[in-house]
Amino acid sequence: MKVLSLFFFLATIIATCQGASHHPNPSFDCLSWRLAVETNNKRGWSVVPQACVSYVGHYMLGRQYRKDVQAVADLAYNFAKAVPLPLDLRPNVWIFDVADTVLSNLPYYAQPDVAFGGTPFNSTKFAIWEQKGISPAVHGILDLYKKLQSLRFKIVFISGRSESLREVTTKNLKNLGFTTWEKLILKQTSDAGTSSQIYKEKKRNELLAQPQRYRIVGNVGDQWSDLVGENVGLRTFKVPNPMYYIS
């Protein structure tokens, strides 16, 4: 019933967005704004401009977002296929962020009072959503995950989610088909107040310092803070996300 309810909810939102103008304010070019966001030229923003709320909604729920994510997944897989097996027996690792890279929060952001990031972030309301553990998979990423496993990559999830969400996150991942992984790294209380970029860099460094002598090959995230700093891997791949910005 939850899946059916989610389907009808998203179908309603899609119909609403399809009926809305892509550019409610013709003087504000939302396509250029999204390009600036995805290229990290636009930084530090807190909400989607009101002129672009329906545009972002239409993009996220339409075909183009799914095509864009699939293009990222295809590029990542093509790169991974060309990576040779390590002669020194060090495990090849592929890192994934979790929120809106593997697990989609789109049903949360599609709610009218959240408006695809057009309203200030409500941490209390978002925490309630996370606790439900019903996030769908980001289109195209589950298939990439399975292909990487077939290539014998070790999968490591590095998430900004709290350690308190380990059980619900584990169940959500496994219910969707993300059945096994090397590590699921979640934020500890000692990481509170640390920026996402510094936190994820620290966790990558800790991963490389472990006795297994991992080699980070690939890294997929929806935020630039997932993909910059030390030891990001041989190649990084960014999944589009114009709904929010995390530094």
Q: Model confidence over 117-130: pLDDT tens digits?
A: 999 999 999 999 99
Q: Which domains does the chain have, with CATH numbers?
A: 68-102+137-238 (3.40.50.1000)
1: which 2 tokens? 């019933």
Q: Judge whether 86 and 215 are in contact, CB under 8 Å.
A: yes
Question: Confidence band (pLDDT; 50, 70, 90) for 136?
Answer: very high
Specify the 3-state DSSP secondary structure of 155.
strand
Predicted local distance difference test score (pLDDT) of residue 215: 96
Residues sharing a CB contact under 8 Å with residue 58, sequence separation 6 or more, in sequence order: 17, 18, 20, 22
**CA–CA dist 57, 141 (Å, integer):** 20
Predicted local distance difference test score (pLDDT) of residue 10: 53
Determine which helix (DSSP H) or strand (DSSP E) holds 221, and give its type and residue range: strand 215-221
**CA–CA dist 82, 189 (Å, integer):** 39
124: which 2 tokens? 């209390």
Question: Confidence band (pLDDT; 50, 70, 90) for 4?
Answer: very low
**CA–CA dist 101, 139 (Å, integer):** 9
pLDDT tens column, 54-94:
999 999 999 999 999 999 999 999 999 999 877 788 899 99
Determine which helix (DSSP H) or strand (DSSP E) holds 147, and give its type and residue range: helix 141-150
pLDDT tens column, 162-190:
999 999 999 999 999 999 999 999 999 99
Hey, how many other C-beta atoms are within 10 angstroms of the C-beta on 187? 20
pLDDT at position 12 over 60: no
